[in-house]
A and B are shown apart, each in its own frame.
Chain A
């Protein structure tokens, strides 16, 4: 079975990019394992399957990569078709360029690009629940302005009912997607550029 990165980036079997990725067989296999562990877990543990897939769809839409977003949207719709439209609408309202944020105060402060964190309204929180609402707010921070990360952001997750193991898995999920989505984006561009240039 072909791994998700290869499928989403449309790598042709035997293309230079496909062969190069095959030379990193362990990275390819373990990227797929990470995907399966995070999105198709045998035991979902402290983060429910719906939460995992809702966060993934939200993060994928923030990255604005059509193939990847379609994959994670379908995964969420297949898991919870009632919740999906709400999460996807929230994601669309939260999109924007990244990365931005503040550095520790000092010589880097002139590079600060401050911005407002993503916050759900009370009605939106009530609609999807406190836990998922806090997870989406945190996912937005990690995706678009990670250097604004703070103890307070973790406290907000704890206050919404998250535990330490749950926060670790949630953080791995969002951080992994930032990786996976960029591998897909990069391989797609490399393959397209090569096929556009005569060898």
Chain B
């Protein structure tokens, strides 16, 4: 197999943040379904991911994909204690907004809106970025997520004071750090290995 960069000349990349269903087109050849061995299936974790060009591309390193997936699931779907799902998804949306990952922001803004029922606030975050007023609690969460997004990371004691004032427990604050940090991993893969498409997922 010759390695070449894939192009998608007919694709019009979305030029703004949206809660619409977007698709994703790879810039490098994903594995084909018939190439999958048990090692790849273990890495994919979920058989339906064999339909996803993103996961089939990451399946070129199946062990790392598997570990990444299990980190992701525990941080976002383990609801034993800790931060409410809506707030974890809010952090994921804020980080994706700041890093500039239109695809990631579309997925996680939908989750944030669904879990919080605050569609207007979520849309405002997408439209205007992380400094838009979102109320005290969400403001504190978004400021912390945004501070951690800077390089070098800039989460400061004042951010923790804000979180304490809003009543976030240590457990919730750790979840916030994990959810925010995870999107640095996700954003960089999504942004650099392919492009979003309005054609739908």
The docked-state distance in angstroms from the alpha carbon of A65 to that of B67 is 24
Chain A: CB-nearest residue to B188: A175
Q: How far is the CB of A179 from chain B (nearest CB, A)?
A: 4
User: With A24-B74, A24-B175, A30-B67 in contact, do A196 and B28 touch (Cβ < 8 Å)?
Assistant: no
Cβ-based interface call for A37 (8 A): yes
Indicate the member of B57, B164, B173, B181 with the most A CB atoms within 10 Å: B181
CA distance A105 to B16 in the complex (A): 9
Contact residue among B3, B71, B148 (Cβ-Cβ distance under 8 Å from A34) = B71
- CB–CB B67/A33 < 8 A: yes
Chain B residues positioned under 8 Å from A162 (CB to CB) = 3
Q: Are A144 and B151 in contact (CB under 8 A)?
A: yes
Question: Which of B96-104, B106-114, B116-124, B135-143 is found at the contact surface with chain A?
Answer: B96-104
Contact across chains for B64 and A185 when beta carbons are under 8 A apart: no
List residues of chain A with CB within 8 A of the CB of B101: 146-147
A111 B71 Cβ-Cβ under 8 A? no
B82 contacts A by Cβ under 8 Å: yes
Report B161-188 CB contacts with A as 1/0, cut-off 8 Å: 1001000011101111110111011111
Does B60 lie within 8 Å of A178, measured CB to CB? no
Q: Does B47 contact A (CB under 8 A)?
A: no
Known: A24-B78, A111-B129, A182-B177. A105 touches B184 (CB 8 A): no
Q: Given A23-B80, A185-B155, are A30 and B70 also a contact pair (CB < 8 Å)?
A: yes
Q: Which A78-104 residues have a C-beta within 8 angstroms of B?
A: 97-99, 101, 103-104
| Minimum Cβ distance to chain A for residue B146 (Å) | 11
Which of B64, B71, B148, B176 contacts A38 (CB under 8 A)? Answer: B64
Question: Is the CB–CB distance between B173 and A30 below 8 Å?
Answer: no
Closest to B95 in A: A182
Docked-complex contact A98 and B150, CB < 8 angstroms: yes
Task: List residues of B whose CB falls within 8 A of some A CB.
Answer: 1, 3-7, 13-17, 27-29, 57-58, 60-61, 63-65, 67-68, 70-71, 73-75, 78, 80-82, 98-102, 129, 148-153, 155-157, 159-161, 164, 169-171, 173-178, 180-182, 184-189, 191-193
| A-to-B contact residues, CB < 8 Å | 16-17, 19-21, 23-27, 30-31, 33-34, 37-38, 45, 62-65, 97-99, 101, 103-108, 111, 141-144, 146-147, 149, 151, 153-155, 158, 162-165, 167-169, 171-172, 174-176, 178-183, 185-187, 189-190, 192-194, 196-197
